[in-house]
Amino acid sequence: MNKADSSLNGWDDPFAVAVPAATRSLFNTGGIAPALKTAEMVVPPPVAPEKKTLLAEQDIASLPPINPEDKRIVNAKTDINQLAPFKYPWGWEFFLNANKNHWTPLDINMSRDIHDFHHRLTTEERHVYTNVLAYLTTSDILAMRNIGLAVMEKMSAPELQIYQARQVYEEALHTWTYQHCIETIGLDQSEIYNRYRVVPEIHGKIRLANARLSSVLRSDLNLDNRDDLEQFAMSYLFFAAIFEGCWFYNGFSPIFALQRRGLMTGTGEQLQYILRDEVQHCAFGLRVVRQLLQEESLRLDPKAVQALFEESEAAEGAYAHYLLKEPILGYSAEDHIGQFRFVANRRAKQLQLPEPFPGATNKLDWLDEQASMRKEKNFFETRVTEYQTGASLSW
């Protein structure tokens, strides 16, 4: 430490703060100003510093290594600052895979979208496009806050937290992407961003998400308490299986329907990259929920889970009928709602729960291929990132 920094020695120890020599001499030699030297003045005896509570070096050296079996999804009693050895190596693999899908919205050419929006889209298609963006802009902000404020800090295994730190970044990146599309097309930002407040069908989904997710933001939430733990599990199940696993996946479909007809291809490509992130978010969240239920011997109320899916379908149905008052070529409200039910059954199956919508069928058999980045493109019209990224899109 250089001379300039020496005054910081012992900055957190009130007994180690350096006292200037001139000041010391006043107290040591009786040089206190006469006005202060009165008979009533009592100088308290010096207080000895408290005994240091830090472990001695020999005690530290004798601490046993972390046992990974002591780690838990929540409520672990072991050192949360030690990453390895892993108990959940799959959490680390999610982090590594997420970094293979690195991109920014500036990488994608949006010039055709500007022309398409103003000269090729019908009135109905512009209605679909703008309202999809209006919903997504608010949703990803909500997702970012939920992971960062309600979920990540409750995880007690660092290999899970480190992926969620990446997830927070990705949700911010997605928000940037929607903003980039809005700005590039030249839409009224204030009007688009405010729609979730004034359009009941968009507001309904956001209100439901807030109700389900904000319940675990409480400062007094105690995950040692079984009721609070079950509430946390239900909230995270909603977030992973429905909010990200159904609503986001379904939310991109109207744009993909335009993209497959050669319209708004830049926006479609942006959403393909976002969907690759969301696929991993959903898979990670479902894995955490399964592990949490197993570790805590927690059995969720089947009626409560069914109600969760049904209220989410009702909100999605209202949104679909607003979004697609008039169907666009190749896509309708019935397609949108039917696909929600089909994907919801997938999510329930991944959680080893009964299907909430028995008999639901795949309404968009083109969607998995349309959403995939793995398709033939002209080498000279694509980007290097498409040959570097490696997270496969598998449902």
pLDDT one-digit tens code per residue, 313-337:
999 999 999 999 999 999 999 999 9
Query: What is the arithmetic mean of pLDDT over 70-88?
Result: 85
Best CA proximity match to 144, nearest among 93, 99, 178: 178
- The residue ranges of every structural domain in the chain are 83-388
Q: Kindly write down the DSSP assignment for every residue of 177-221, as one continuous string.
A: HHHHHHHHHT--HHHHHHHHHH-HHHHHHHHHHHHHHHTT--TT-
Task: Give me the CATH code for the 83-388 domain, please.
Answer: 1.10.620.20
Q: Is residue 289 scored above 70 in pLDDT? A: yes
Q: Is residue 6 scored above 80 in pLDDT? A: no
In angstroms, how far is CA 26 from the centroid of its own chain? Answer: 59
First-to-last C-alpha distance (Å) of the chain: 56
Give, as one character, the DSSP assignment of residue 326.
S
Q: Is residue 277 scored above 80 in pLDDT? A: yes
Q: Is residue 29 scored above 80 in pLDDT? A: no
Q: Which two tokens stand for residue 363?
A: 């309404």
Query: In the prediction, which pLDDT does 60 show?
Result: 61
Q: Is residue 26 scored above 60 in pLDDT? A: no
Mean per-residue pLDDT of the chain? 83
Q: How far apart are CA 315 and CA 339, in angstroms?
A: 14
Q: Is residue 180 scored above 90 in pLDDT? A: yes
Helix (H, G, I), strand (E, B) or coil at 155: coil
Query: What is the arithmetic mean of pLDDT over 369-386?
Result: 52
pLDDT category of residue 70 using cuts at 50, 70 and 90: confident
Query: In the prediction, which pLDDT does 91 show?
Result: 94
Query: What is the arithmetic mean of pLDDT over 201-206?
Result: 95
Q: Is residue 254 scored above 50 in pLDDT? A: yes
Give the predicted TM-score (pTM) of the model. Answer: 0.78
Q: Are 114 and 184 in contact (CB under 8 A)?
A: yes
Locate all alpha helices (DSSP H) within the chain, ordered by sequence.
Answer: 21-29, 57-61, 89-98, 111-119, 123-145, 158-185, 189-198, 200-214, 226-237, 249-259, 265-295, 302-323, 333-350, 367-371, 385-388
Percentage of residues in the chain having pLDDT higher than 70: 78
Helix (H, G, I), strand (E, B) or coil at 369: helix
Query: In the prediction, which pLDDT does 373 show?
Result: 61
Query: In the prediction, which pLDDT does 43 show?
Result: 58
Q: How far apart are CA 141 and CA 152, in angstroms?
A: 15
Q: Is residue 389 scored above 80 in pLDDT? A: no
Query: In the prediction, which pLDDT does 83 show?
Result: 87
| Most confident of the ranges 33-37, 142-146, 179-183 | 179-183
Query: What is the arithmetic mean of pLDDT over 245-259?
Result: 93
pLDDT in tens, 108-163: 999 999 999 999 999 999 999 999 999 999 999 889 988 888 888 888 899 999 99
